[in-house]
Each structure stands twice: as structure tokens, then as C-alpha cells.
Amino acid sequence: MNSDDQVLFTNVTVLDGTGADPYRGEVLVEGERIAAVGRTGITRRPSGVHVVDGGGGTVMPGLCDAHAHFTWNNGASLDALADMGVEEHTLLAARSAKTYLDCGYTSCVGAASAKQRIDVVIRDAINAGDIPGPRYLANAKEIASTGGALVPGITNFVDGPDEMRRTVRTLIGLGVDLIKLILSGEEITGSQRAEDTYFTDAEVEMAVREAHNRGVRVCAHARSAESVKMCLRAGVDIIYHASFIDEEGMDELERQKDRVFVAPGINWIIATLEDAGPWGFTPDLAEQVGYKRELEIAVEGMREAHRRGIRVLPGGDYGFAWTPHGTYARDLVHFVKLFGFTPMEAIVAATRQGGEIMGQPNDLGLVSPGYLADLLLVEGDPLADIALLQDADRIKVVMKGGRFHKAPAATVSSGAPAFGDEVLVTL
Ligand SMILES: [Zn+2]
């Protein structure tokens, strides 16, 4: 990982994350931030700047995954995570963090850690520059009610507002950025229906109040219609899944759309229906327990949410055997194919709105002067083929905070560098 004070991306198309049409231009990075963005010939060119010739590729903001689990181990079930040694588990999470960054994800929202402190430790190590990884909102073990856990061995159990208060305060004391509540079931458990709803309003309101008092946000696994409405009554900040949202919930979601985010994690359902057979969860079985029906209903719900201008963000539950780490950008294709997003809208959801869900809307998610230089140089045009973002080989450069995580592949002599330029690469 090099540190370069000044880097100029030239001969690129700038896809800036705002939703505006891309344009041919240049991007100048100074220190950790973007200093200037301009159409070719406009950007000033400091002497001694490192020039990256993008070869006509696309410079765009780094991607954000709104529902990430660094501690998931690509296993067929999460039960083994409870028994994994904390040392091995921490190393595994570090590898996941690097994989996200390798794939162009410069921000991730942690949606539960299989052990209490791993997310926090990994986040701090990333921020200290000790290990590579995206900017990360750290979570702890998810909180469920007795009898309401999806994976009991990796869960904090809470019953009643008083226990909720104590547990939320304890997790805040560990340094989390987010609290995760399990408000509904999940069909793959075999015992807890996705349309079941756990916890009471009093418990959820307590979690939100305690978290917000300390500047910590709350996210929730909420598949049932009632659980989505419970989130909206209590002020939960990030609603995961929302598969069975009903009309009343949708209306309320729309009223709160400037505050709340929805991340359906739709690839989990699709992959569970299509790709889990080798691990014993055949398409027939997945359909039988209800995932096909849930997918159909969830797709309609997310299409409607998108029509209403609700922020629906990609990302979700990668790290199972059939949703392995490194395949994160599958979500973007689903958004286009199933939810009615244009490729541009899918990219805005993963970039500009990613900055918003990270809580840094003025720092993250755009190629714009003053923003942190979390940038990708992509070979090709993601608007023409959104699936190309699934191919890490097509992501030629990954920069986070002005530093190369993935540096230009080769140093190429420009022949006649202007103003003492050092030309780093031609794609
Ligand atoms: Zn999850």
C-alpha cells in the first residue's frame, strides 16, 4: 500500500455517484481527499504529481455494502461460528475485510459480529492502518429474545426492557457503532417463521433510546410485516430485509424515508433458492420452506419502496457457503433485474447513499472535491454492464483515503511526461 500525496487520474470517465451523466475528465487527489474534479484540460496539474492513465476506464466512488458480516466463514451453517476459537475467528474476519476492499468495497455496515468484540477490534485495526479493510461500522453479537435467536450460539439474549437497557449499554461500552436486533424469524431455521415477530415495542424502544442517547444507531432483522412497523414506531435506523412489509408499513416507511434505510439483502434469498443444493438445501426444499414465496413478495415490496423514493441499499449476508465472500456485487445486478433500478440508480444506492448510511454524507460516496478519496478505477463501463463490478480483475485500482489498496498494475513510461509527471499505468 503506497502513500501518495498527489495522484491525478487522467484519461478516464468520471462516474461521480450523484446520478449525473458520466463525463470524460480528470480527478486530482491530494492527501486523503479529492482536491479537484474536472473535464479534461481543466484540472490543475501540480508538478511531481503521480499520474494514473486510466486508459479510458471509469473512475467512480468506492462501493458500500449495507449489510456485511466479516465474521461469517463461508460455511453451510452459522452454528460452527459459536465454537470457532476467537483467535482463528479474528484472523478470518481480517481476511473478509481485505476481501471486501479487494472487491472495491471501501465502506461496510456491520450487521452483527459472531463474537462480541471481533468487529470492534477489526474496525480499530483498519482505522489504525494495521490491516487492510473498508471503513466499517462495527456491531457486536445480535440481540434476540429467548426462543427468538436465529443462531443461538452467536446471540445476546434479552427479555424485557431492563435487560435490553443493560445489554445495549454493555455493547456501547465495548465500542460498537451499531446495535442489531432480531425482530422476526427466518425460514432456514426450520422453527422460526419469517413472518413471526419477536420482542415488544417497549423492548425495541428501550434499545433505540439507549443507543441514540450515546450516538449509536440500531439496525434490525425484520422480515415480518409487524416487525417492520415495530422498527418504524421505535425509530430503528436501518431495516434489514423487510420482505413482508404491508401497505401500512410502506406508508410509514415513506413518511420516514429521509431518516431510515432499507437493505433487503436479497441475494441471500436468491442464492438460497438457486445455489444451496450442494450443501443439502435443495431448490425444492428452499421453495417448500417458503423462500420462493418470500422472494416474490419481497421483490414487489422493494419495487414499490424504490418507486416511493425510499432508500433501498444493496448488500447483504455474504459469507455463507452459497453466498461466499467476494461475490458482494451480485446485489447490484439483482437491483437492476428485479427491483427496477437503472444501473445508475443501483450505483447511486451503493455509493452516494452508502455515504449516507455510513453517517458521512459529506465525506463518502461521491467523486467530488472535498470528499475522501475512496475511489475505484474500473476497466469498462459499469452503466453498460453492471455485472462487471463482480469481477475484481476489472477493478484496476482501489484507493481508500488517498492511499492505494490496489495500486496501478504497472509503471508505464509516458515517453514525454509533462510537468515532471510520473505516469503510473495505462490500462
Ligand atoms: Zn445478516
Among 3-17, 69-83, 317-331, which stretch is predicted with the lowest mean pLDDT?
A: 3-17
Tell how far the Cα of 151 is from the centroid of ligand 1, in angstroms: 11
**Does domain 6-61+365-426 bear CATH number 1.10.3080.10?**
no
Its CATH class, for the domain covering 63-357, is alpha beta
pLDDT at 191: 79
Tell how far the Cα of 70 is from the centroid of ligand 1, in angstroms: 10
Tell how far the Cα of 141 is from the centroid of ligand 1, in angstroms: 11
In this structure, are strands 375-378 and 261-263 parallel, antiparallel, or unpaired?
Answer: unpaired
Mean pLDDT of the chain: 92
pLDDT at 44: 72
Tell how far the Cα of 320 is from the centroid of ligand 1, in angstroms: 10
Tell how far the Cα of 155 is from the centroid of ligand 1, in angstroms: 12
What's the mean pLDDT in 105-114? 98
What's the mean pLDDT in 234-261? 98
- The confidence band for 45, taking pLDDT boundaries of 50, 70 and 90, is confident
pLDDT at 194: 82
Tell how far the Cα of 266 is from the centroid of ligand 1, in angstroms: 11
pLDDT at 12: 96
Tell how far the Cα of 86 is from the centroid of ligand 1, in angstroms: 20
- The confidence band for 375, taking pLDDT boundaries of 50, 70 and 90, is very high
- The confidence band for 6, taking pLDDT boundaries of 50, 70 and 90, is very high
Tell how far the Cα of 150 is from the centroid of ligand 1, in angstroms: 10
Tell how far the Cα of 318 is from the centroid of ligand 1, in angstroms: 8
Tell how far the Cα of 167 is from the centroid of ligand 1, in angstroms: 20
pLDDT over 50 at 204, yes or no: yes
pLDDT at 2: 42
| Per-residue pLDDT tens digits for 151-179 | 899 999 999 999 999 999 999 999 999 99
Tell how far the Cα of 142 is from the centroid of ligand 1, in angstroms: 10
Cα–Cα distance, 124 to 117 (Å, whole number) = 11
| Per-residue pLDDT tens digits for 380-396 | 999 999 999 999 999 99
pLDDT at 418: 45
Tell how far the Cα of 108 is from the centroid of ligand 1, in angstroms: 13
pLDDT at 411: 40
Tell me phi and psi for residue 185, to 5 degrees: -85, -165
Domain extents in the chain: 6-61+365-426, 63-357
Tell how far the Cα of 95 is from the centroid of ligand 1, in angstroms: 18
pLDDT over 90 at 427, yes or no: no
pTM: 0.94
Cα–Cα distance, 311 to 67 (Å, whole number) = 14
Tell how far the Cα of 268 is from the centroid of ligand 1, in angstroms: 9
CATH fold match for the domains 6-61+365-426 and 63-357: no
Tell how far the Cα of 245 is from the centroid of ligand 1, in angstroms: 18
Tell how far the Cα of 378 is from the centroid of ligand 1, in angstroms: 28
Tell how far the Cα of 137 is from the centroid of ligand 1, in angstroms: 14
